[in-house]
């Protein structure tokens, strides 16, 4: 019992830490990049945010995060824990991923977008490079780790299917990173809407982890089929379709850069293959569905037919045998 409690508490603390790390890494990158909202104070040796000292900035950031933890994160976790205790039903989605996206990834992306909207091109480029090489990888790695912790809670056994799913998590993270790196192009970076579109669709793709993926490939139960369908639809509408649309639009407006053709082709392939999977699932479900003639036969009639076929001679009435 003590081991189970320790594991539960440890995993919850780990998930909370994964929410916290990207926020403070992003805050550090904002203060160290020297963007226009951060200026050297002429009367002292400390960096100031406008008229706010760096110490006050960190205190506000820390206080805001703790307030959100106490007001949102902790109450939601307690509610979900009590709900799991009161019912044996398994959730078809992962609340931990939703909380991570809303309380960690979203604030980080907002801070990055606010920071890079500066009139100083060199500072803008420096902060965007930090977002590419430091901040965004941290956000994605913590997202993947949150996903793995959720899987660990669901199943202690590390199966081959789980290993393959973890590998796919890195493929998604790499796809997001490649989309964000498009903003390093001067033509794209000089416009506001492509940068906001890139970050919006990158953030949207993080919600692909919210639905629970099918646990096993050979899962044939109805809940497993429903879960697989929801997972495929989520992948299509939060990653494959938006990424394909945005990449084709940027190619049409700003030209075909070296290597860019591979990524819209990958998104198009994802659309085709996942749509094909949905079609095959629907077709297979139609095959295994009971026919109308079978449904029209009542269970009592089936029982009587089975009894007639298995009736022994000794069970027949005496009059019938004598006749």
Q: With contact defined as beta carbons under 8 Å apart, do 254 and 197 qualify?
A: no
pLDDT for 40 equals 40
Question: CB count, 10 Å around CB of 55?
Answer: 10
Q: Rounded to whole angstroms, what are the CA distances from 141 to 147, 170, 237?
A: 10, 9, 22
What's the pLDDT tens digit per position in 244-271?
Answer: 999 999 988 888 765 578 889 999 999 9
pLDDT surpasses 50 at 209: yes
Structure confidence by residue, pLDDT tens digits, 158-177: 666 677 777 788 888 999 99
Residue that the structure tokens 């226009």 belong to: 36
pLDDT in tens, 49-88: 555 577 888 898 999 999 999 999 999 999 988 888 777 6
pLDDT of 117 > 50? The answer is: yes
Q: Tokens 């606010």 — which residue?
A: 114
Name the 3-class secondary structure at 51.
coil
- Other Cβ atoms less than 10 A from the Cβ of 210: the count is 20
Closest listed residue to residue 4, CA positions, set 163, 162, 157, 156: 156
Least confident of 144-153, 159-168, 312-321: 312-321
> Higher-confidence residue: 94 or 114?
94
Predicted TM-score (pTM) of this structure: 0.79
What single DSSP character describes residue 183?
G
d(CA 43, CA 64): 28
In the predicted structure, residue 4 carries a pLDDT above the cut 90: no
Q: Do 232 and 274 contact (CB within 8 A), yes or no?
A: yes
């Amino acid at each position: 019992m003590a081991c189970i409690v320790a594991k539960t508490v440890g995993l919850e603390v780990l998930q909370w830490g994964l929410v916290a790390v990207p926020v403070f890494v992003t805050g550090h990158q904002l203060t160290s990049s020297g963007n226009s909202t951060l200026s050297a104070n002429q009367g002292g040796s400390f960096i100031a945010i406008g008229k706010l000292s760096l110490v006050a900035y960190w205190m506000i950031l820390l206080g805001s995060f703790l307030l959100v933890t106490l007001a949102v994160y902790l109450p939601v976790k307690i509610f979900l824990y009590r709900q799991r205790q009161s019912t044996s039903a398994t959730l078809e989605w992962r609340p931990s991923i939703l909380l991570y996206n809303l309380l960690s990834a979203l604030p980080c992306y907002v801070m990055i977008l606010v920071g890079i909207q500066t009139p100083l091109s060199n500072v803008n480029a420096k902060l965007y490079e930090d977002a590419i090489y430091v901040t965004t990888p941290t956000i994605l790695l913590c997202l993947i780790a949150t996903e793995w912790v959720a899987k660990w809670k669901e199943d202690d056994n590390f199966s081959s299917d789980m290993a393959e799913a973890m590998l796919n998590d890195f493929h998604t993270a790499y796809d997001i990173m490649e989309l964000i790196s498009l903003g390093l192009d001067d033509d794209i970076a000089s416009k506001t809407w492509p940068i906001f579109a890139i970050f919006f669709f990158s953030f949207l793709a993080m919600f692909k982890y919210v639905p629970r993926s099918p646990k096993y490939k050979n899962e044939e139960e109805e809940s497993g089929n429903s879960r697989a369908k929801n997972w495929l639809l989520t992948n299509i509408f939060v990653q494959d379709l938006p990424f394909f649309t945005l990449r084709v639009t940027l190619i049409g407006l700003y030209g075909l850069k070296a290597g860019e053709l591979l990524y819209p082709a990958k998104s198009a392939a994802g659309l085709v293959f996942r749509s094909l999977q949905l079609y095959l699932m629907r077709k297979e479900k139609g095959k295994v569905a009971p026919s109308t003639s079978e449904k029209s036969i009542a269970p009592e009639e089936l029982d009587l037919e089975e009894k007639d076929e298995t009736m022994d001679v000794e069970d027949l009435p005496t009059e019938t045998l004598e006749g």
